[in-house]
Amino acid sequence: MTDLLTLAGVHTHIGRYHILQGVDLGVAAGQTTMLLGRNGAGKTTTLRTIMGLWPASAGEITLGGQRIDDSATPDIARLGVGYVPESMAVFSDLTVKENLVLAARDGPLDDSRLDWIFGFFPALKRFWLSRAGSLSGGQKQMLSIARAIIEPRQLLLIDEPTKGLAPAIVVALIECFAEVKRRGATILLVEQNFRAAQELGDSVLVMDNGKIVHRGEMAALAADTALQERLLGLSLEAHQ
């Protein structure tokens, strides 16, 4: 399977800190790739570097064969890259509807696409005209993800979507991501919840100290407790 996204020797500096120290990775087209690692390993920085929010200081990033490491964030987004940050970053002063109107950049909201999203996240329909700032944490996460998938994207970068959410919402998110993948999107997903990662991931990348230290099949990592403990520092049970 060909890689939709590749990073080769990518370094990122934030101020005087050298965060990414030569990241090499490939994300296979049409697959869900999990990016795991301890806190501070560089997972969020990797996503932000791909998105152009923190520019790479060295190395090469390609999307569908096209170099994007010199591109500005809006241009990367316009190539069909959706981004769900860890902070969710919904526009709290805007309504749910207005958040989605902005996300549907190239035209009016597509009703059938909206109905599809409401199927996963009925709360968004109910609170359609409510200010996003008044939603609960879980509902903000639903909105943040809805914003990323309101239009078809070729690549979704999602940062810790299940963090701090109720189990029912985690299940809804997992269903949503699986459906998005079935519709042809490629997903690079940072996740701390190993159970969720295990359910969603086709392949896995593990980071440590700003580098990729393991790449392989998700199922293989899920089956190897010793490897999990060595790479992630915690047992599977501790992640559940």
Task: Tell me which stretch binds other proteins (CB under 8 A): 12-20, 130-138, 204-212, 224-232.
Answer: 130-138
Number of residues that bind other proteins (CB under 8 A): 38
177 touching other proteins, by CB under 8 A = no
In the region spanning residues 183 to 222, those forming contacts with other proteins, defined by CB under 8 A, are: none
178 touching other proteins, by CB under 8 A = no
- Rounded Cα–Cα distance for residues 94 and 79 (Å): 25
User: Shortest Cβ distance from residue 189 to other proteins (Å)?
Assistant: 16
Kindly tell me which residue out of 26, 44, 121, 200 binds other proteins, with binding defined by CB under 8 A: 121
Task: Tell me which stretch binds other proteins (CB under 8 A): 13-21, 31-39, 69-77, 229-237.
Answer: 69-77
Q: Which spans of this chain sit near other proteins (rule: CB under 8 A)?
A: 51, 53, 72-74, 77-78, 83, 85, 89, 91-94, 98, 101-103, 105, 121-123, 126-127, 130-131, 133-136, 138-139, 142, 147, 166, 168-169, 172
